[in-house]
Amino acid sequence: MSKGWSEYGRLVLKELERLNEGQENLRKDLDSKFQELDKKMTEFKSTEKEVLELREWKDKVTEVWSVTQMKESKNEVYAQKNRWLKIVGGIIVIQVLFTLLMAFKDQIFG
């Protein structure tokens, strides 16, 4: 009878060792999967951070030179150009009048 119990004890011990080995393999597999998942999450967070930085950059660029601002700048450039044309035109008219005055000064004053 003690031989039967001894044999049964060895079988139980072997089964416990097999279950322990299976549990260790499962733990190693889960650790590996969690490390892989952690690596992917780190990559995802890095990508998310880059997307946020690009979005902020785009907003800043858009804020610096929006379509409305471009239109206002164009209008301001044309307004300045028109002012200079008026000034140059006025100077030309004055020069022409002065030239005519000099050319006909003897007839007018004299």
User: Tell me, what's the pLDDT at 25?
Assistant: 93
> Alpha-carbon distance 110 to 103, whole Å?
12
- Torsion angle of the four alpha carbons 30, 31, 33, 37, in this order, in degrees rounded to the nearest 10: 130
Q: Is the pLDDT of residue 67 over 60?
A: yes
Q: pTM of the prediction?
A: 0.43
Q: Is the pLDDT of residue 5 over 90?
A: no
DSSP state of 14: H
